[in-house]
Every structure is written in C-alpha cells, then in structure tokens.
Amino acid sequence: MCCILALGARLREPRKPLHSLPIWYAMARMGEGSPGVASALESRQLRHEEPEGMKRPEGMKRRVMAAVVCIAASVGFYWLHFAGRWTVPLGEGRTLWEFMGIASAVMAFRYAVAVLIYDFVRWRGGTVGESKMLSGFVGVLAWLAILGAFVYSLGLLKAVGAVAAGFAGLLLGWSLQAPVSGIAAWVLVTLKRPFRIGDRVLFPSLGLIGDVNRIGLMYTVLDQVGGAIGSEEAIGRNILIPNAMLFQQVAINYTPKAEAAYFLDEVVIRMTYDSDWDTAERILLDAARTVTAEIIRQTGQEPYIRSDMWDYGILLRLRYMTMAKDRPRITHEIVKHIFKAVQRDPRVDMAIPFVYSFRKSTDGVMRGSFPDPDEAIQEVPLDAIDGDTLPEDAGGAETEELTERIRKEGLLQPIVVTAASDGRYRILVGHKRFLACRRLGWRTIAAVVRRQPGVPPPPPSPAPGTSRA
C-alpha cells in the first residue's frame, strides 16, 4: 500500500520542479508531520540545484503509470484465482491467474524500483546514464523471476532447478576466475602494499603511468600521467586496471616511501666546441642548485655533470635529483635558467645541426685560383655574352611563357656558349633562355663553356653572392 500511495503521489504532482526529492524521502517527511509532499519538494529545491545532465526523462511518467496498472492487474488476477473464476490449471494446484498475478506484481516492482533508482541517483548528483544502467540490471532480474514463477506454476521447479543449478555452477566457476583473481590481488596489494593511494606507478608492459586514486575490490583506478600530452603530468583521465592483471604485470613505483619520492633525472645541453668549458659547467650547476635547492637539502645529493663527444658539439649531461610528481616543472625551470644564462654570457654557445659542404665553402675563396675544367657549368655574366647572334624569332610568345616559368621554377637547364679570344661568349644553344634571364634582370646565367683551340680560358667566375640581382 505504501508503494501505491507513493506512486499515486507522484502522479498527482502538478509540474513539480526538476530538482525534487526522491519519493521515499518525501514520504518520510510526510510521516514526520511535514506539511506534505509539496513542502518537502520545495525545501529540497531551496537547498540543492539540479545536477548537470539529470533532466527528467519523458518515459518516467509512463513507468509510474505502468507500475500502477501492473499492481491493479496483479490484484485482479489474484481475485480471479481465489474466486475460482474461469480457472485455467497449470500444474500442482496452480492456475494461470496465479502465475499472471505473480508476473504482474514482479513487473510492478520493476517499474517502481526503476523510478526510485532514478530519484536516488539524481539526489546523489548522478547522471541519467547511471540510472539507466541500474534499471536495466533490475529489469533482467525481473524477467528471470518471471521465468522462475512460470516454471514453479508448471510444477517443474525441482527438475529444472537441479539442471539449472549444475549449469549455473559451471558457468559461475568459469566466469568468476578473473573476479576471484582480482579479489586475491586486492588482498595482496592491501597487505603487502607495493603501492599506495597517491603513489605514482609505471606499468611498462601496458605503457601506462599514473597516480593511484583508488584501490577497489575489482579495479585499481589511476589518474593517467602523460598520454594526451608529451610530459609526465597528471591529466585527470581515470584508467581502470583490473586487479587480476596485477599478478602478470611489472609495476615500478616512483614513490615507494616519502623519503624515496626522488629519483635521478638529467637535462642534456649541446655546447659548441669553442665554448668555455668551465663557464658552461658553472651555468648548468648553478641552474640545478637554484631550482632544486630544497631537494638537495632533503636528499643531500648535489647535481653533477657528465659529458660526451658529439658530431657537432659537446653533450653536457646535467644530472640532479628530482621529484617524481613535479619532474616537468623542475625540468622547465632548469632549462629556462640555462637558456637565459647562455644568452647573457658570450663565452658559451649552444650547438645546432649544420650541413657542411667543402665545395660550397671554398666556392668564392679557393675555387677561383684554379682554371675551370672543359665543359664545366659556370656562372657567366650576361653582359659578357654577345646578343647580336640571337635569332629573329627569339622574342616571341614562347619566350614570354619561358620567362614566366623561369621566374617561378628557376633555370633548370644551362645554356651552351663558346669563349672567344676577346673574353666574350657566343651562344650556341639556349638563345631563348638567355633572353628570358636577361628580361628577369639576372646578372649571371649558368652556362656550359666550350673552349676553342688556341683561345685562353676566361677570367675566374664571380663569387656565388653576385650571381643574381
């Protein structure tokens, strides 16, 4: 009767606010002499706000009505059973009306519990998804109960129960292996305490680092470190690790105890070969001592430096003790101190990768001291090339198109010239390319110079910096 009254009170509520009390709480307030459901709901409204994502689903009223209908149907079916009207026997003195009455009562219980679950979850600040999950579980139990009631009404409960019990035992024995292992792992972790709540733990085989938030009966919850960012900082994303997996995983605890919450870390700085060694060491050590002064006081370990030879500089490895949960900040502060100190001191400099070409570096210094080989590609000044030998059709539309292509892509193929005795050049191949480069305002052009017998070589080619305007 209490359930019927509660459901009826819910149906009579005229557009009550979303942030309302559960029915069971409102009914309790009524029993204590409260002015009624409305006043209880109003007092709830004054104290709390509606949790985000908990808007009332439209099907909730239909569930309440379905529960009331199922209760009325159950009462009607039981009346038919006890009155002996239109009896349909099933077995061992049971009738169809008795089974229908049990089934209707179970369904009424299911709908009523779904409504109460929704109110309770909303009161606790949960979401609609949570209430749907719990309601679905109750629905499965309700259908199993109806199936059991049908078997009971047929008088086959003992026979079917024996078979079902054996099958259920086999199923449970197979499906509970992981849960039992999880419980055993939880007991082991609780007693041995390889890690505790708040510790930072690394699981190498899983590729996970996290801070332990909770150690439950079945799961260990970690606040993931890294993952979405390239640093060892907690990002607020929970990871559930089944306790059963702990028997097969290697776990590295960064903070096994308070005095051991520090570990050795390093910052690698690349210095040029012409940097002052003593100054570079002093800059690195001063930065580490400034940032990790409190850690040095706690551990008594001073920072130190190790070095390696590298392709284009010296690798100075600054090693220092750092905090497991504050490593990114400490590294950032040390790098910032070093960078600013290097900028202020001209005696040290950081090495950067640089591709070195001997031929390129000697192009304007040594290369001009040697005669160019025959058929070599040279940068020939445009004003040293005779233009009176150009064909009459050299300045047509094709040359205009070639000029635009050279402007965008550069000269992809050199021209071919011959060197005269007066130091000038005559074009053999590439008249239109020559004309296009002259229109673009170039000072030199890439050309293959062919020697004529008895003609001395031309003067050295200019430096690369003067090849174009």
CB-based contact 78:105 (threshold 8 Å):
no
Question: For residue 233, what are its two tokens?
Answer: 């900082």
Same domain, 161 and 104: yes
Instruction: Spell out the per-residue pLDDT of the chain, length 469, in tens.
Output: 444 444 444 444 444 443 444 444 444 444 444 444 444 444 444 344 444 444 555 667 788 888 888 888 888 887 887 777 777 777 666 778 788 888 888 888 888 888 888 888 888 887 777 778 888 888 888 888 888 888 777 777 676 767 777 777 777 777 777 888 888 888 888 888 888 888 888 888 888 888 898 888 888 999 888 776 766 777 788 888 888 888 888 888 887 765 567 888 999 999 998 899 999 999 999 999 999 999 999 888 999 999 998 877 899 999 999 987 888 899 999 999 999 999 998 899 998 876 555 445 444 444 444 444 556 678 889 888 887 666 666 667 788 888 888 888 888 888 888 888 777 888 888 888 888 888 888 888 888 888 766 555 555 544 444 443 3
CB-based contact 434:395 (threshold 8 Å):
no
Same domain, 169 and 55: yes
What are the C-alpha distances in Å from 390 to residues 89, 395, 428?
Answer: 118, 9, 10
For 202, the domain range is: 193-256
Q: Which of 344, 345, 292 is nearest to 319 (CA)?
A: 292
> What is the domain-level CATH number for residue 205?
2.30.30.60
Same domain, 141 and 204: no
412 in helix, strand or coil?
coil
Q: How many domains does the chain have?
A: 4
Is 306 part of any domain?
yes
Same domain, 302 and 389: no
Same domain, 287 and 303: yes
Instruction: From 122, 138, 173, give the residue that closes a domain.
Output: 173
Q: Which residues, 6 or more positions from 66, have their beta carbon under 8 angstroms from its beta carbon?
A: 107, 111
What are the C-alpha distances in Å from 39 to residues 50, 152, 458?
Answer: 17, 46, 108
d(CA 5, CA 190): 47
d(CA 329, CA 323): 10
Is 365 part of any domain?
no
Same domain, 128 and 151: yes
Same domain, 404 and 339: no
